[in-house]
């Protein structure tokens, strides 16, 4: 019998295992890339629990607590019920004199940017929402915000100083009863 006639069984040991491992590695890499690619859609969650997602990036410096801002916004409960809106008209406010969650979110925004934020109840109105408002106790709040203009150091120009420096309150003022609360 010649060498060419001998039945020769090829060595295939471990080939199937290596193929499965490679396939699983490829799937894991795909999932990792998909996760990384969608991170702008997920936004960020701060240590306080505030969730903020940039819809359209702004420009310039980030808003500071002593800055004045002109914003267009719509506030909703998590079920989609709109409780307040600027109705396309920019509303002026001092960044350090709004509810704590809105103030924190503003410090992550820039002029011209559009953002979607979720404010946990503890950073909004907690168990004491404004009287007569459609906001139930302990409600998380969602906002779509467009920063139209930023006025640096507006609180200081108004004689308020920085929060904690005398003039401006350190906490958000208690809202006055009105038909629709502002952030």
Please check whether residue 66 is in contact with residue 153, taking contact to mean a CB–CB distance below 8 angstroms: yes
| pTM, entire model | 0.67
Q: Tell me which of 121 and 158 has the higher pLDDT.
A: 121
**Confidence class for position 116, pLDDT limits 50, 70, 90:** very high
pLDDT above 80: residue 56 = yes
Q: What is the mean pLDDT of residues 162-180?
A: 40
Interacting residues of 139 by C-beta distance below 8 A, sequence separation 6+:
77, 78, 121, 124, 125, 129
- Residue 175: the pLDDT is 39
Q: What is the dihedral of CA 53, 116, 89, 147, to 10 degrees?
A: -20
Q: Comparing C-alpha atoms, which of 152, 154, 67, 162 is closest to residue 106?
A: 67
pLDDT above 60: residue 165 = no
The whole-chain average pLDDT of the chain stands at 81
Please check whether residue 181 is in contact with residue 172, taking contact to mean a CB–CB distance below 8 angstroms: no
CA distance linking residue 19 with residue 136, whole number of Å = 56
CATH fold of 45-157 reads Chitinase A; domain 3 (3.10.50)
CA distance linking residue 50 with residue 97, whole number of Å = 17
Q: Break the chain into its structural domains and give their ranges.
A: 9-42, 45-157
Q: What is the mean pLDDT of residues 141-157?
A: 90
């Amino acid at each position: 019998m010649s060498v060419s006639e001998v039945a020769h069984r090829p060595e295939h040991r471990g080939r199937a295992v290596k193929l499965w491992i490679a396939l699983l590695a490829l799937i894991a890499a795909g999932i990792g890339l998909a996760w990384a690619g969608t991170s702008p859609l997920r936004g960020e969650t701060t240590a306080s629990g505030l969730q903020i997602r940039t819809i359209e990036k702004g420009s310039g410096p980030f808003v500071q607590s002593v800055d004045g801002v002109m914003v267009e916004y719509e506030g909703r409960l998590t079920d989609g019920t709109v409780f307040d809106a600027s109705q396309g008209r920019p509303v002026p406010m001092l960044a350090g004199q709004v509810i704590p969650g809105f103030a924190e979110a503003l410090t992550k925004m820039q002029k011209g940017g559009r953002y979607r934020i979720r404010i946990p109840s503890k950073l909004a109105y907690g168990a004491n929402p404004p009287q007569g408002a459609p906001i139930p106790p302990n409600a998380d709040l969602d906002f779509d915000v467009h920063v139209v203009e930023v006025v640096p150091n507006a609180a200081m120009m108004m004689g308020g100083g920085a929060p904690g420096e005398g003039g401006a309150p350190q906490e958000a003022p208690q809202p006055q009863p009105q038909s629709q609360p502002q952030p």
